[in-house]
């Protein structure tokens, strides 16, 4: 098994409960002043820090960010939606 296959197999073990916990933990650490380190996140999520748990924490962070982040429309799009410009 090469590294990509290993990481894909590791990522497939992430559950919905893991993702929800990561979202709760990350929501308490918004902004630079409240940032959480990778080691702290790993420890909080899994109770231990190993290469595998660090990789899972990183994957959870990426998934939570992509699922729960909000993209804001540009001012031009907002103007268009409000009936202006075009």
| pLDDT tens column, 8-20 | 898 899 999 999 8
Q: What is the pLDDT of residue 45?
A: 94
The answer as to whether 36 is a domain residue is: yes
The answer as to whether 9 is a domain residue is: yes
The answer as to whether 55 is a domain residue is: yes
Q: What is the pLDDT of residue 72?
A: 54
Q: What is the pLDDT of residues 19-41, one digit of tens each?
A: 989 988 988 888 888 888 889 99
Burial 23-53 (b: 16+ CB within 10 A, else e): bebbeeeeeeeeebeeeebbbbbbeeeeeeb
Q: What is the pLDDT of residues 33-62, one digit of tens each?
A: 888 888 999 999 999 999 999 999 999 988
Quote the domain boundaries for residue 31.
3-81
Question: What is the tally of structural domains in the chain?
Answer: 1
The answer as to whether 45 is a domain residue is: yes
Percent of the chain with pLDDT over 70: 79
pTM of the predicted model as reported, rounded to 2 decimal places: 0.70
The answer as to whether 86 is a domain residue is: no
């Amino acid at each position: 098994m090469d590294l990509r296959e290993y990481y894909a197999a590791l990522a497939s073990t992430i559950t919905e409960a893991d993702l929800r916990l990561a979202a709760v933990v990350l929501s308490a650490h918004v902004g630079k002043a409240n940032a959480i380190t990778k080691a702290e996140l790993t420890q909080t999520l899994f109770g231990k820090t190993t290469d595998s748990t660090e990789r899972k924490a990183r994957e959870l962070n990426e998934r939570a960010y992509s699922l729960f982040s909000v993209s804001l429309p540009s001012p031009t799009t907002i103007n268009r939606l409000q009936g202006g410009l075009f």
